[in-house]
Amino acid sequence: MRNIRYKRIKILLLVTVLLAGAGILAFTENDKYFQIAKNLDIFAAFYRELNTYYVDDLSPEQVMHKGIEAMLEETDPYTDFVSEENLDDLKFMATGKYGGVGASINTSGDSTVVTDIYEGSPMFKAGVKPGDILVSLDGQPTRGMDQEEISRILKGAPGTALNMELQNPLTGEKITRRIVREEINVRPVSYAGMVGNDVGYIKMVQFTENSGAQVQMAFEKLKQENPAMKGVILDLRSNPGGLLDEAVAVSNIFIEKNRLVVSTKGKVKNWDREYKTPQPAVDAGIPLAVLTNRSSASAAEIVAGAVQDLDRGLVVGQRSFGKGLVQTTRPLPYNAKLKVTTAKYYTPSGRCIQAIDYSHRNPEGEVDYVPDSLRRSFTTLGGRKVRDGGGIEPDAPVAPVYLSQVAITLLRKQYIFDYATRYYYAHPQIADAGRFSLTEEEFADFVRFLDGKDYSYKTQSEDALENFEAIARKEKYYDAVAAEYAALQQKIKHDKKQDLLKHKTEIRRLLEEEIVNRYYLQKGRIERSLAWDNEVNEAAKLLQSSARYHELLK
């Protein structure tokens, strides 16, 4: 949001100067507020003189942009200026709603391809498919447009129309569709279902308005349809957070009434608050596992922290991001907003899990993580030790799984996506999302599909060997080891087809997820991935083993 435009800056500047002038006599030299007024006066005078006498014309927008950016550099990355034209972004963060067509796109070279369609969206209703190529929008060719510009055109006020020309990726046939934009609601619960026969699973992607109600509906439906359910997994991995009140509402589904979920403390003491569960829990006894990873942040960490501190369930996966800061929006002139960090939040045990210390900077202005030596210990309701200053550490750690370099390259170059498109048009229907699998012949067909395509890449071993060569040459050792270097280089030289076979299982899973997405959209992709999701399967095992579950809670 910091890449912004500023309107009517001269009027704002005049208001600033008047305020500074009016207040300057009211404070003493030692008073902080006097110092603020004094420096505002100096700033205004400096800009006035610069604008009057500098040899070239200066853009007020660009100069003030630099000034605001410089001020924001002294804060954390969550404090920001939001101009009037960017208020929709702020609204989307709070509500999960925006005006548009309900699709994701990817621009590569001169071609823009539809990559995902949201169920029930205008694009879905118009029969647009992932893989379709966007040729023009309202008669304007997309060739030469960047992705951001195309996304801007696709968005718009609900009820407005957009004429779209699309091309079939296989036949080249062009069709025209008139799409009427609607309010797109990105649902906070992207999937709810069962893992095996007895463990419920709810995937939550953000904390926007009514998130708590939607999670509760999903949970109650799972219980009703699966009366023998032994436990539930709440998946908050890669959930960036959102509204604090919704974090309390989600916690209240599993935590009994009048329990402290989170407290906030900041500079303005009148704003300090304690947030307790306001209602009786929907189910305060069912075994619960909350999944987190390095991208689980903010409100997601509030829920995970409350569940952990109150010994209500287990946190499974990896340590969370560590964002223990609360933002508030403040009104500015001309419909602009200041999104500013006003407080830190504390979990029920009293710990703040903020991982990066923005209040202390080195001489270069850089910030760093809170060192382990300064992290303090706290205790959960049952006496287990937990620590502050570094996110939520899992009760049951599960090592993350990283993609191989060949898989990353196939994804980045869109070869998996393109093969899924070809597969979709060749197969009118497939098995249910959870049961679909590629045959050996179909995987062999994918390998043939890659013939002649460039998916070259460097392995980490090759990178390390190249670094060694550069250092050895610099230090004059290379000639002495040249023969050994050449032999080692030949040994680790990778064969692309062998890498495909070596990482066959991983690549096959990525193919199956992408293919299933064509038939069953995002829900299908998630359902298919559950079969090999290590964190989900570990959480399910813990919930199915009462002894192990309660042992970890001691």
Residue among 266, 315, 254 at smallest CA distance from 290: 315
Do residues 220 and 261 both lie within one domain?
A: yes
> What's residue 11's pLDDT?
37
pLDDT tens digits, one per residue of 25-48: 444 555 888 888 899 999 999 999
pLDDT per residue as tens digits for the range 504-552: 999 999 999 999 999 999 999 999 999 999 999 999 999 999 999 999 9
What is the per-residue pLDDT for 497?
A: 78
Whether residues 30 and 160 share a domain: the answer is no
Q: What is the pLDDT of residues 187-238, one digit of tens each?
A: 999 999 999 999 999 999 999 999 999 999 999 999 999 999 999 999 999 9
Q: Which of 39, 16, 15, 17 is nearest to 27 (CA)?
A: 39
Whole-number Å distance between alpha carbons of 41 and 19: 9
- Segment 63-90 mean pLDDT: 89
pLDDT tens track for 466-510: 888 889 898 888 888 888 888 887 777 667 778 899 999 999 999
pLDDT of residue 16 exceeding 50: no
Residue 78 lies in a domain: no
Domain count, the chain: 4
Any domain includes 68: no
Which pLDDT score, from 0 to 100, does residue 18 have?
40
pLDDT attached to residue 30? 59
Kindly state the DSSP code that residue 428 receives in the 8-state scheme: S
CATH of the domain at 235: 3.90.226.10
pLDDT at 372: 87
Distance of alpha carbon 342 from alpha carbon 188, whole angstroms: 26
Give the domain-ending residue among 153, 185, 217: 185
**CB of 108 within 8 A of CB of 414?**
yes
Could you please report the per-residue DSSP string of 249-294?
HHHHHHS-TT-EEEEEEESSGGG-EEEE--S--S-SSS-EEEEE-T
Residues 202 and 289 in one domain: yes
Question: Is the domain of 219 the same as that of 347?
Answer: yes
- Give the CA radius of gyration of the chain: 28
Residue 36 lies in a domain: yes
Q: In what helix (H) or strand (E) does residue 485 lie, and over which residues does it extend?
A: helix 478-492
- The helix, strand and coil proportions of the chain, stated in percent and rounded to the nearest 5, come to 40, 20, 35
Is 471 a domain residue? no
Q: What is the pLDDT of residue 28?
A: 53
Q: Are residues 355 and 370 in the same domain?
A: yes
CA 354 to chain CA centroid, Å, is 18
Q: Alpha helix locations (H) across 372-439?
A: 405-412, 415-426
Distance, in Å, from the CA atom of 220 to the CA atom of 227, rounded to the nearest integer, reads 10
Q: Residue 370: helix, strand or coil by DSSP?
A: coil
Parent domain of 21? 1-58
Does 365 map to a domain?
Answer: yes
One domain for residues 394 and 353:
yes
Q: How far is CA 277 from the centre of its chain?
A: 27
142 to each of 108, 166, 173, how far by Cα in Å? Answer: 12, 11, 17
Q: Which two tokens stand for residue 245?
A: 């009140």
From the number of C-beta atoms within 10 Å of its C-beta (0-12, 13-18, 19+), residue 344 rates as middle
CATH of the domain at 156: 2.30.42.10
Residues 235 and 367 in one domain: yes
Does residue 299 sit within a domain?
A: yes
Looking at residue 33, its pLDDT comes to: 83
**Segment holding 44, helix H or strand E:** helix 32-53
Higher-scoring residue by pLDDT: 363, 450:
450
Contacts of 531 (CB under 8 A, 6+ apart): 434
Question: One-letter amino acid identity for 93?
Answer: M
Q: What is the mean pLDDT of residues 441-457?
A: 91
Length of the chain: 554
- Judgement on whether residues 250 and 270 belong to the same structural domain of the protein: yes
Residue 467 is assigned to a structural domain of this protein? no
Beta pairing partners, 387: 377
Residue written as tokens 């279902």? 193
- Max avg pLDDT among 39-43, 175-179, 332-336: 175-179
CA angle 294, 300, 304 (to 5 degrees): 90
Average pLDDT, rounded, for the chain: 91
- What is the b/e burial string over 517-526, where b = at least 16 CB atoms within 10 angstroms of the residue's CB? bbbbbbbbbb
Last residue of a domain, one of 354, 385, 400: 400
Are both 445 and 373 inside the same structural domain? no
What is the average pLDDT across 168-196?
A: 95
**Residue 545 belongs to a domain:** no
- The model's confidence at residue 93, banded by pLDDT at 50, 70 and 90, is confident
Q: Which two tokens stand for residue 122?
A: 């205008």
Q: Does 359 share its domain with 374?
A: yes
| 295-329 pLDDT tens trace | 999 999 999 999 999 999 999 999 999 999 999 99
Question: CA-to-CA distance for 66 and 62, rounded, in angstroms?
Answer: 6
For residue range 359-402, list pLDDT tens digits in order. Answer: 888 877 788 898 888 899 999 999 999 999 999 999 999 999 99
Residues 207 and 167 in one domain: no
Half-sphere exposure of 350 (CA within 13 A, CB side): 8
3-state secondary structure of 403: coil
Same structural domain, 219 and 181: no
Q: Which of 21-30, 279-288, 344-353, 394-403 bottoms out in mean pLDDT, i.e. has the lowest?
A: 21-30
pTM to 2 decimal places: 0.87
How does pLDDT run across 95-144, given as a tens digit for each residue?
A: 988 999 999 999 988 899 999 999 999 999 999 999 999 999 999 999 99
Q: Which of residues 134 and 6 earns the better pLDDT score?
A: 134
Give the Cβ contact number of residue 15 at 10 Å.
11
